[in-house]
């Protein structure tokens, strides 16, 4: 049996201040710190600021290095290794796979959770978390590649009255972060292709920009209106509401600027 240990530590949503005290304690007693920032990114900080906060150097791994996992697993065979991720560590399938491989190699594992977009975005909007269906991700189209599966997810969720959390693509190697404006344009293109009347220009959608920061933007309005709105720098997230409870409508009106005429239309 190995004597090593692998601890997954979530960094939270926005900057180096989001890390928990429990996470800092794990880092202080570890031998090596790795991190990956391709599944998500802390846009409010830098590696230098993170290193200053935790008091140790961080080796940032590429997507390929993270998915292979060899560096992390080899180090964790006889050392205590901390693997830093944005948000909550176990929301990415790659991280679950890495934990399973570590356990199968006799390496003890531990998870220190961090704040996640999955709860922060609904919370900022005032939407009930248990009313969210399957989450989906919009990706940048490439030549001969324009996946429209997010449209199917939104349609299926709305059939049962559920909200949809729509994450936006991050291409870390190109420093390219999808904006909500780009995401809404893609959803409109999907509507034109499918023609199932799931999302028209008059449909109510929500956008949250820079969740976890001191001044996040939280907006609810029509697709047409939000396409033209300036949300500032990423990260952005879109929510397509399903059936809305009167308290959710009140929250969207008060905290996200939903116009009263839309609120009346959204009542069940």
Give pLDDT, residue 143.
83
Give pLDDT, residue 262.
82
Query: For residues 250 and 266, is the Cβ–Cβ distance under 8 A?
Result: no
- Whether the pLDDT of residue 264 is over 80: the answer is no
Give pLDDT, residue 5.
97
| Residue range 59-78: mean pLDDT, rounded | 94
Q: What is the DSSP string of the chain?
A: ----EEEEEE-BSSSGGGS-HHHHHHHHT-SEEEEE-SS---TT--HHHHHHHHTS--EEEPHHHHHH-HHHHHHHTTSEEEEEESB-GGGSHHHHHHHHHHHHTT-EEEEE----HHHHHHHHHT--GGGB---EEE---BTTB---HHHHHHHHHHHTT-BEEEEE-EEGGGTEE--HHHHHHHHHHHHHHH-SSS--TTSEEEEEESTTSSS-EEEEEEHHHHHT----SSPEEEEE--SB-HHHHHHHHHHH---HHHHHHHB-
Q: What is the pLDDT of residues 81-134, one digit of tens each?
A: 999 999 999 998 999 999 999 999 999 999 999 999 999 999 999 999 999 999
Q: Is the peptide bond before 104 cis (omega within 30 degrees of 0)?
A: no
Give pLDDT, residue 261.
82
Q: What is the pLDDT of residues 133-168, one digit of tens each?
A: 999 999 999 888 888 899 999 999 999 999 999 999
Q: What is the pLDDT of residues 11-58, one digit of tens each?
A: 999 999 999 999 999 999 999 999 999 888 899 999 999 999 999 999
Give pLDDT, residue 175.
84
Give pLDDT, residue 230.
97
| Residue range 230-252: mean pLDDT, rounded | 96
Give pLDDT, residue 267.
63
Give pLDDT, residue 2.
60
Q: Rounded to whole angstroms, what are the CA distances from 23 to 73, 155, 182, 186, 217?
A: 20, 39, 35, 38, 28
- Whether the pLDDT of residue 198 is over 70: the answer is yes
Give pLDDT, residue 179.
97
Give pLDDT, residue 56.
96
Give pLDDT, residue 207.
98
Give pLDDT, residue 99.
97
Give pLDDT, residue 147.
87
Q: How confident is the model at residue 268 (pLDDT cuts 50, 70, 90)?
A: low
């Amino acid at each position: 049996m190995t004597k090593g240990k692998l601890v997954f530590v979530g960094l939270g949503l926005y900057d180096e201040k989001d890390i928990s005290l429990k996470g800092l304690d794990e880092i202080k007693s570890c031998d090596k710190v790795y991190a990956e920032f391709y599944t998500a990114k802390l846009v409010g900080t830098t590696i230098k600021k993170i290193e200053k906060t935790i008091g140790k150097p961080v080796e940032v791994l590429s997507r390929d290095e993270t998915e292979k996992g060899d560096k992390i697993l080899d180090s964790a065979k006889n050392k205590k290794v901390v693997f830093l991720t944005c948000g909550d560590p176990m929301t990415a399938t790659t991280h679950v796979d890495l934990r399973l491989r570590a356990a199968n190699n006799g390496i003890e594992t531990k998870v220190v959770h961090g704040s996640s977009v999955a709860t922060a975005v609904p919370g900022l909007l005032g939407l009930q978390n248990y009313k969210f269906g399957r989450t989906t991700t919009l990706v940048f189209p490439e030549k001969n590649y324009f996946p429209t599966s997010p449209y199917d997810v939104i349609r299926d969720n709305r059939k049962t009255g559920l909200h949809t959390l729509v994450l936006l693509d991050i291409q870390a190697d190109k420093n390219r972060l999808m904006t909500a404006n780009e995401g809404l344009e893609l959803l409109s293109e999907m509507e034109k292709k499918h023609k199932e009347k799931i999302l028209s220009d008059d449909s109510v959608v929500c956008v949250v920009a820079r969740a976890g920061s001191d001044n996040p933007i939280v907006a609810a309005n029509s697709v047409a209106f939000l396409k033209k709105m300036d949300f500032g720098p990423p990260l952005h997230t879109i929510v397509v509401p399903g059936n809305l409870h009167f308290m959710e409508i009140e929250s969207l009106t008060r905290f996200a600027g939903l116009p009263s005429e839309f609120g009346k239309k959204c009542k069940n």
